[in-house]
Each structure stands twice: as structure tokens, then as C-alpha cells.
Chain A
Amino acid sequence: GAGVSQTPSNKVTEKGKYVELRCDPISGHTALYWYRQSLGQGPEFLIYFQGTGAADDSGLPNDRFFAVRPEGSVSTLKIQRTERGDSAVYLCASSPRGTAAYNEQFFGPGTRLTVL
């Protein structure tokens, strides 16, 4: 079946602009995660959705970052007034259950954001 898809694969923008990054999880997966991976680093947790609600947004770095998942499927990560430090690969992952003892996260290919 289809895996997690993310669009665009690459995004180049100018400092101060607004960007939207889209994540399409695996069909039926209720849990969705966003991570940010800077060059040479491990992924950094941003936000977790269970269904439509953000169950944990403690990783969002500031109020310029916002994410939605209005119908419990596709999610959009929105970044306002982008800064050069926002340049990174943004990874999305989904999993079939949000309350199991553990669950494997299936990652998308990521969106590489470059802020000039």
C-alpha cells in the first residue's frame, strides 16, 4: 500500500515568507507526528496528533509554527515569517494506534525547507 507522502519534496523560500508543508499519512493511521531534522542531527519532535486534535505540541519552537489536521487525515505544518534557522528537513510520520504500548512510526520522505 501507499506509504506516508509529503509535499513538496523541496521548498525554497525567502526570509519572512509564509510556508505550508503537507503530510498525507497512511490510510487509517490515527496518530500523526511532525519532526524537524537539521543537518547532522537526529529528528526533533514538533507535534503529535491523535485524530484531529494536537495531543502534544510541546516541541513547536515558537508561535510562528502551527499545525492542523482538520479531518484526522492530512496534516499541514504552517510556518509564518520564516527565518534562516528554520531551514531543515521536516519529517512526518504516522502510526496505526496512538495508545498502544508501543507503535512503529512510518516516516515520509520529508520536505527539505531552505530559507534564503
Chain B
Amino acid sequence: AQKITQTQPGMFVQEKEAVTLDCTYDTSDPSYGLFWYKQPSSGEMIFLIYQGSYDQQNATEGRYSLNFQKARKSANLVISASQLGDSAMYFCAMREGIGGTGGFKTIFGAGTRLFVKA
């Protein structure tokens, strides 16, 4: 069963506007972590933001924020004030068993390609 679903294969956003990249996940483990990574055309994977399942507040890192809706199993990434350099692939990922005896297997979604228009 697909554990991470990113339904938007491609997204366009105008420079300086905000954009939301969708991610839904599936797990029965109460303790898990959600991650977003950016992969530019150069191929490197860049960590952006993390949300733990027990975190009370939505995570924020600069222009990135994670809209965490636990009951809906949703962890959307919001990028504010888009820049041309934000054009890249974005991957949502999950790790179960965070902080406990679980493993460290991180499962990635298929990704969303973001295009920022000037």
C-alpha cells in the first residue's frame, strides 16, 4: 500500500506568490516523523523541514511551513514568496517508529515538480 501520496506531479507558481504542495500519508504507528526534501536539477537532496507526530505546532523554517493535519493524515508544504531558485522536485517522506524501537526506514513519495515563473 502506498504510504506517501503526492497527487500533484507538477505545479506552477508565479514568483513572489505562495504555493502549497500536497502530501498525504498512511500509518498505524502513533509515533512518526514527516519530512520534506528539495531536489534541484543537480540531483542533490536538500532537507527542508520536519514535523513530528506529537508536535503540537506546525513546523516552520524560514519561507517553508508545514501544514500538519493529523486527523486527515496530511502534511502539506507551504512555500511563501516563491523565488526562481525554488524550481525543483519536492519530496514528502515519512519515518515510522520515531524515538522508539522502530527502524530508520524513510519512505518517500513520488514527488512534485515545482516551476516558478518570472
A interface with B by C-beta (< 8 Å): 31, 33, 35, 40-45, 48, 50, 55-56, 58-59, 89, 91, 93, 98, 100-102, 104-110
Contacts and interface: CB of A to CB of B under 8 A. Distances in A.
Given A35-B108, A100-B99, A102-B99, 11 more contacts: A40-B110, A43-B91, A44-B108, A45-B106, A56-B103, A58-B103, A102-B50, A102-B52, A102-B98, A107-B45, A109-B44
B93 interface: yes
Given A41-B110, A42-B111, A101-B98, A56 B43 contact: no
Contacts of B107: 45
A26 B107 CA distance: 22
Interface residues of B, number: 24
Given A89-B43, A101-B98, A56 B91 contact: no
- Counting chain B CB atoms within 10 Å of each CB, which of A41, A42, A89, A98 scores highest? A42
Interface in B81-105: 91, 93, 95, 98-99, 103-105
Interface of B: 4, 33, 42-47, 50, 52, 91, 93, 95, 98-99, 103-111
Contacts of A104: 47, 50
Contact of B52 (A40, A44, A59, A101): A101
Nearest to A104: B47
Contacts of B98: 101-102
Contacts of A108: 44
B105 A42 contact: no
A43 B42 CA distance: 15
Contact of A102 (B44, B95, B103, B109): B95
Contacts of B46: 107
B91 A42 contact: yes
B47 A105 contact: yes
Contacts of A59: 105
